[in-house]
Structure 1
Amino acid sequence: MATEETIHNVLITGGSSGIGFGLAERFLRDGHRVLVTGRSRHRLAAVSEALPGLETFVSDIANPQDREELAAHVRQVMPNLDVVISNAGIQRRVGIAVDHAPWADVQNEIDILLAGPVHLSRLLVPQLLEHGRPSVYVNVTSGGAFQPMPFAPLYSAAKAAVHSYTVNLRHALRATPCRVVELIPPAVATQLAGPGPNHGADPDEYCDTVYPLLDGSHPNVGFGPTAQPDFTARLTAEHRAFESASTRFPVPLYQADGTVAPAH
């Protein structure tokens, strides 16, 4: 059980089902304060009933105004926010050659998977830095970010972009007490792609394994295929290459007090 000194204030987007719900359940069980978001008021009401004490907020991560309203709500009701898990996602399983969906459907997938996480970090990172205490920002990507999946090509591309952005976000926050974590699930048997058959790791086993690793001490958290030595070696090699190239064109970085230091 968390003590008063270790109680975290946790925001999880897409927390009404799947990985988001599983992590919310574990944070809440350990005595932390948890706020989850989702698009469906009905589903949020159901999870709130299932997990007494859980706080909810209806928000569509694809909508810029909703993202701004969420940030304003968090600032008002949870000013000591110190854990963010950007988890909301969808997966359209359709190959490029047969994807004849209206562009609005395609744009919605891009907005949920890429625009949403980027915008949310811009809105919430300053709040995490204001209180000056250790904090953790978690972006949920996918094994598909590293191995493009023909059955979900746009999902793979968007997650690859979020992976790249997460590496740069970690760099921008390196001088602050805010740690950036990339949670890299393999296939997990959730309803990510909508109703119907699903495949992958058991959600409870997955959440039990990764939950203790989200304290900021592990920059990358995998499971199964995304925790194998060959995969972690790939991440290590990528990190070394990034460190070597990241000072080629210096950029301003956040400082511990939330200010930004000029590039030098």
Structure 2
Amino acid sequence: MELNLRNKRVLITGGSKGIGFGIAEAFIKEGAKTAVIARGEDGLKQAAAELPGLQTIQADVSNEDEREQSFQQALNMLGGIDILVNNAGGSAGSTHLATTVDTFRGAMELNYFSALHYSQLACKGMKKNGSGVILNISSIFGRESGGKPSYNSAKAAMISMTKSLADEVIKDGIRVNGIAPGSILHPTGNWQKRLDENPDKINRFVEQEIPAGRFGTVQEVADAAVFLCSERASWIVGATINVDGGQSRSNF
């Protein structure tokens, strides 16, 4: 299937490793001009070495000033933004009662406010062009309990924003959608760490919790991402699609 993504200008947050890096690789294979933002300099250098043509920007996306500066850098590098992928995120804390309000606030800043802010910045240029795509990478745990509450709360806000922003800007030719991954195994992720520490426990988890009987791969999320950002998905608006091998217990 031809996705017609060649020469599209793509910006991905949290793109130096894991799912974000996989999405960047998929866009580059489609011929898109791709830049990633991440906090770690070493990770960005490694990503650029592994993906010829990838452009990199160092910034802490939980900081509002750095978001604005990094977005301007991306505009200068790419000459505009056709596709924004809000992938940056992370979890902290433990249970509701054992997690400080500041930790919840930090999770919102990293997972939700970064996506909201970059979307606001991107929409300015997209409105002028009369076209654009925003893709938000959330989690199945933004729809149901599981994982750390601070992360779940932020991803739930992201899923809600995906739908409401989509309805707001589709009239301007901008499509907004999301992907809610389930448990994805990759070398730099928490699942790999847990698997190394206690393989029997994690293998039982997979058997009991994932109907497909295995972890998902970064490539499977990336394949969904490039499709949703292509003109082939032109009538998909405001959706957050589970990419989880059946792991989610929700009916949508």
Class of the TM-score when normalised by the shorter of the 2 chains: 0.7 to 0.9
Pairing 1:214–2:229 present: yes
Partner of 2:144: 147
CA drift of 1:197 comes to 2.0
CA drift of 1:212 comes to 2.6
**Residues 9, 66 of structure 1: CA spacing in aligned structure 2 closer, same or farther, 3 A cutoff?**
same
CA distance in 2, matches of 1:226, 1:173: 31
CA distance in 2, matches of 1:5, 1:26: 10
Partner of 1:126: 124
Where does structure 1 lack aligned partners over 5 or more consecutive residues?
235-264
| Equivalent in 137, 157, 164 of residue 161 of structure 1 | 157
Q: Look up the equivalent residue of 2:68 and give its one-letter code.
A: E
CA drift of 1:113 comes to 0.8
Deviations 1:122-169 (A, max 9, x none): 11111122223x3211111110111122x4111111110111111110
Query: Do the aligned partners of 1:92 and 1:193 also contact (CA within 8 Å) in 2?
Result: no
Pairing 1:40–2:40 present: yes
Partner of 1:136: 133
Query: Do the aligned partners of 2:6 and 2:30 also contact (CA within 8 Å) in 1?
Result: no
CA drift of 1:81 comes to 1.4
**Residues 138, 4 of structure 1: CA spacing in aligned structure 2 closer, same or farther, 3 A cutoff?**
closer
Query: For structure 1, which segment, 216-225 or 31-40, has the greater mean C-alpha deviation from structure 2 after superposition?
Result: 216-225
CA distance in 2, matches of 1:39, 1:169: 26
CA distance in 1, matches of 2:191, 2:63: 20
CA distance in 2, matches of 1:212, 1:115: 25
Partner of 1:170: 166
Q: How many residues align?
A: 228
Give the % identical residues: 25
Query: For structure 1, which segment, 208-217 or 157-166, has the greater mean C-alpha deviation from structure 2 after superposition?
Result: 208-217
Query: Do the aligned partners of 2:26 and 2:226 also contact (CA within 8 Å) in 1?
Result: yes
| RMSD after superposition | 2.8
**Residues 120, 48 of structure 1: CA spacing in aligned structure 2 closer, same or farther, 3 A cutoff?**
same
Partner of 1:242: none
Q: Look up the equivalent residue of 1:68 and give its one-letter code.
A: E
CA distance in 2, matches of 1:86, 1:126: 16
Q: Look up the equivalent residue of 2:226 and give its one-letter code.
A: Y
Partner of 1:57: 57
Matches within 5 A, 1:245-256: none
Partner of 1:223: 243
Partner of 1:117: 115
CA drift of 1:6 comes to 4.2
Say which structure, 1 or 2, has more relative contact order (CA 8 Å, 6+ apart).
Answer: 2
CA distance in 2, matches of 1:26, 1:128: 22
**Residues 57, 2 of structure 1: CA spacing in aligned structure 2 closer, same or farther, 3 A cutoff?**
farther
Query: Do the aligned partners of 2:38 and 2:57 also contact (CA within 8 Å) in 1?
Result: yes
Q: Look up the equivalent residue of 1:186 and give its one-letter code.
A: G
**Residues 166, 208 of structure 1: CA spacing in aligned structure 2 closer, same or farther, 3 A cutoff?**
closer
Q: Look up the equivalent residue of 1:224 and give its one-letter code.
A: D
